[in-house]
């Protein structure tokens, strides 16, 4: 699943403030409460959580941010000034770090993209010291995230014979608490995870910003561009119109819902 080309810039400009920033602050605050000496972040993207960690963790705490996509990591590196961060292009399912090398592993909205989640959880367990914790969040069902639900329905209306389902299939497709707990156990965790549903609100200056974020700042873009009949710009306009019809023509505000998971070694 590609996060390359124009996606990293659109992702950072539109998607991060729309969807990710509130949960990045929440996750970084939870990490800070544990007072870790060393933190490893997986699937860091353009650094939404990395920036929050850099802001709230003491200077002596080491932060290592990893991602499988070099373009995303390059974008992140440019946005975290004034604080040493170790950057590494790395696969969350094969972390290039020694056993027991950190007190916290953090992942914001990345677990849904891992082809083998128990394997990735096993890698997090391996690099954690005794008493350390894996903290991550995943989106709740798409129906609980109004803007994304409207966007997917609008895209499906443009391509009724072959509707792109990236949003509900991947980012909003891993929200069953029992499945998450089972995958953690299959990865080797023996403690019971704490899984909390956290509600937030998202805001954008306009419906078009929402449409650009979701249609052009995620791999939904690739699914749209692979289909004939309508261009990316035409689909973006259709999504913008649907969002405006549902949420208004001025500044847009809508519900967000995610699951926040904490599990200790």
Chain segment 221-232, per-residue pLDDT in tens: 999 999 999 999
What pLDDT is stored for residue 94 in this prediction? Answer: 97
pLDDT at 6: 63
Residue 135 resides in a domain: yes
Task: Give the global pTM.
Answer: 0.93
76 in any annotated domain: yes
The pairing of strands 38-42 and 62-67 is parallel
CATH number at residue 197: 3.40.50.150
Any domain includes 2 = no
Q: What is the pLDDT of residue 66?
A: 98
In the structure encoding, which two tokens stand for residue 195, read together? 């899984």
Q: CA quadruple 54, 56, 61, 67: dihedral positive or negative? A: negative
Domain assignment present for 99: yes
pLDDT at res. 4: 52
User: Is the C-alpha dihedral spanning 8, 10, 14, 15 positive or negative?
Assistant: negative
For the chain, what is the domain count? 1
Asked if 193 and 181 count as a contact pair (C-beta separation under 8 A), the reply is yes
Cα(248)–Cα(55) distance, rounded to whole angstroms? 35
Q: Which structural domain range is residue 259 located in? A: 7-264
Regions of the chain where pLDDT drops below 70: 1-6
Nearest Cα residue to 110 out of 101, 99, 96, 121: 121
Q: What pLDDT shows up at residue 249?
A: 87
**Per the domain annotation, does 186 fall within a domain?**
yes
Looking at residue 1, the DSSP 8-state letter turns out to be -
> Nearest-CA neighbor of 264 among 140, 130, 151?
130
The pLDDT, as a whole number, for residue 78 is 87
């Amino acid at each position: 699943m590609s996060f390359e080309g124009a996606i990293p810039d659109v992702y950072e400009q539109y998607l991060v403030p729309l969807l990710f920033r509130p949960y990045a602050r929440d996750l970084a605050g939870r990490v800070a409460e544990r007072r870790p000496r060393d933190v490893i972040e997986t699937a860091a993207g353009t650094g939404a959580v990395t920036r929050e960690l850099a802001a709230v963790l003491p200077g002596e705490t080491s932060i290592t941010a990893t991602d499988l996509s070099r373009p995303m990591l390059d974008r992140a590196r440019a946005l975290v000034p004034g604080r040493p961060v170790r950057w590494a292009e790395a696969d969350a399912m094969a972390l290039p770090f020694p056993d027991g090398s950190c007190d916290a592993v953090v992942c914001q909205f990345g677990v849904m993209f891992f082809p083998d989640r128990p394997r990735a959880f096993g890698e997090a367990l391996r690099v954690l010291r005794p008493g350390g914790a894996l903290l991550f969040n995943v989106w709740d069902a798409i129906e609980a995230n109004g803007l994304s639900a409207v966007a997917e329905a609008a895209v499906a209306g443009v391509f009724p014979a072959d509707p792109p389902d990236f949003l509900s299939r991947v980012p909003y497709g891993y929200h069953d608490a029992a499945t998450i707990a089972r995958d953690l156990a299959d990865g080797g965790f023996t403690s019971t995870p704490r899984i909390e549903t956290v509600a937030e609100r998202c805001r954008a200056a306009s419906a078009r910003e929402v449409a650009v974020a979701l249609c052009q700042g995620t791999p939904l873009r690739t699914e749209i561009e692979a289909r004939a009949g309508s261009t990316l710009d035409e689909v973006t306009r259709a999504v913008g119109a649907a969002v405006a019809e549902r949420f208004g023509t001025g500044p847009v505000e809508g519900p967000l819902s995610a699951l926040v998971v904490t599990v200790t070694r």
